[in-house]
Structure 1
């Protein structure tokens, strides 16, 4: 079973930085990620999804290969590639991989314009080491499927980072 964690950051760049840290941790076998998507709320109020996997491009590539193969069999490889790419791209565009797009757009509609929400679907992780790597990035937990204890640990760690980022009030001289 996978766990969903959604953290809001003040910018798309900050959310992308954390996503890249998580992907690096995945290469070190500290976390297994099924999907990691950044949802950005534009100033106009629309939500744009920055997917980790582009299913349309993957579909077009695999469709081109199969179209070429079938085209060679029927002595018309050019038409086979074109039809294969078109059908593969269409199939890829209609495929929803990982976290449901409608759910992400609905949840991201509640964040402030300009902010970005990082949606991570986690299969398993070494929680203490992963948290140590992302805690300094801050962020606000929007939603999780973690149990209450783990969710509170995550909220506390990210809140500490937010407190350390805030400069202390300047002392007035008498």
Structure 2
């Protein structure tokens, strides 16, 4: 089962740093994300979603693999890989999986003007590796589907950082 976590930050730059850290942690297999989005609210109140491109790479890679295998059958593996990669990337771009966009926009409307939030759908993680990495950014938990103990642990880690930054 996947868990939704949404954390608000005072600005987009901090949210982007958190997203980069999560991307590195995913590369290190400390966390496995199904969806990752930065939501921003500008000074006029307009909410914008910034989808993570790092997760979409799997569509092109999977398409290239299948295209290459099919190409081998017909003795044109490079052509098959190219077609498969293009098809996989296009399918990944058109398929909206993960957290509902309207839900994210509703959360974004609650942000302070100029604020941002990172919303992730976590397939699995190793909290002992992930929490120390994100603790340095502070932030405020605005929504989760975590169990009470895990949510309290996340809030404590983020609040400890926020309290020391003031």
TM-score (norm 2): 0.75
Structure 1, residues 17-53: CA drift from partner, whole Å, max 9, x if none?
0011011011111100111100000111110011013
Give secondary structure in 1 for the equivalent of 2:35. strand
Moved over 3 A (4+): 91-95
- Give the aligned partner of residue 82 of structure 1: none
Segments of 5+ residues of structure 2 without an aligned counterpart are 64-85
- Give the aligned partner of residue 110 of structure 1: 110
Structure 1, residues 63-88: CA drift from partner, whole Å, max 9, x if none?
xxxxxxxxxxxxxxxxxxxxxx9xx9
Aligned residues, how many? 138
The change in CA–CA distance for 1:92 and 1:122 in structure 2 (over 3 A counts) is closer
What pairs with 1:2-151 in structure 2 (closer than 5 Å)? 2-53=2-53, 95-151=95-151
Range with bigger deviation, 1-10 or 91-100: 91-100
What pairs with 1:151-170 in structure 2 (closer than 5 Å)? 151-166=151-166
Cα shift at 1:95: 3.5
For the residues of structure 2 that align with 1:21 and 1:47, how far apart are their CA atoms? Answer: 23
Segments of 5+ residues of structure 1 without an aligned counterpart are 63-84, 167-174
- Give the aligned partner of residue 171 of structure 1: none
TM-score (norm 1): 0.72
The change in CA–CA distance for 1:25 and 1:92 in structure 2 (over 3 A counts) is closer
Give secondary structure in 2 for the equivalent of 1:161. helix
CA RMSD of aligned residues (A): 2.3
Cα shift at 1:108: 1.1
